[in-house]
Amino acid sequence: MLGLKLPTDPRWANIAEKNIEEILIDHAYCEQKAASTAISLIVSFPEYPELIDEMIALSREEMGHFKMVHEQLLKRGYVLGRDRKDEYVNQLIRFFPKGGSRTTQLVHRLLIAGLIEARSCERFRLLSEQLKDKELAEFYHKLMVSEANHYTMFLKFARKYGEREEVDRKWQDLLDFEAEIMKDLGNDKTIHG
């Protein structure tokens, strides 16, 4: 369903479980950044009312997720800690060339956001299936469903605002690029890396 070209090595879930504090901290910041991305799309592309409505709802939802992850941290006696650089996202955003029309820029941002949500969904599925902590496994199952909805929403908007054939080609090219990134980052103790 997600179309990812390189699935996460299932052993990543073991790395995550052994480093759950780091995973939860990284995850909290991923949710905050997702909310920030939604707000940035509102500010950058105010001429798309349907997109604006969805991004308003998404920013609220993502901050709700941030709160939920923060509560999981506190419940386990951890604190949020400082934000970390997300090498995965930093590499993804280099894929598309800078510039182009506003529509092209929007489509590129939507595709990248969709791919980040797809990878998050896939990682959350692994956590929901493999974590021994059943409460946390259920927590990740619920978030997995949400991330799948976000992924499809971003892809839908990219196809709506861009030319479908070109968007689908760019999506496949981005998926190929992301698979190469994951070869190097696939087993780090972060949500995406």
Q: pTM to 2 decimals?
A: 0.95
> pLDDT, tens digit, for every residue of 116-136?
999 999 999 999 999 999 999
| Whether pLDDT at 1 is above 60 | no
AA letter at 151: Y
CATH of domain 11-185: 1.20.1260.10
* Residue pointed to by tokens 């995550």: 16
Residue among 108, 107, 114, 104 at smallest CA distance from 95: 108
pLDDT value for 84? 81
Question: What's the count of helices (H) and strands (E) in the chain, helices before strands?
Answer: 7, 0
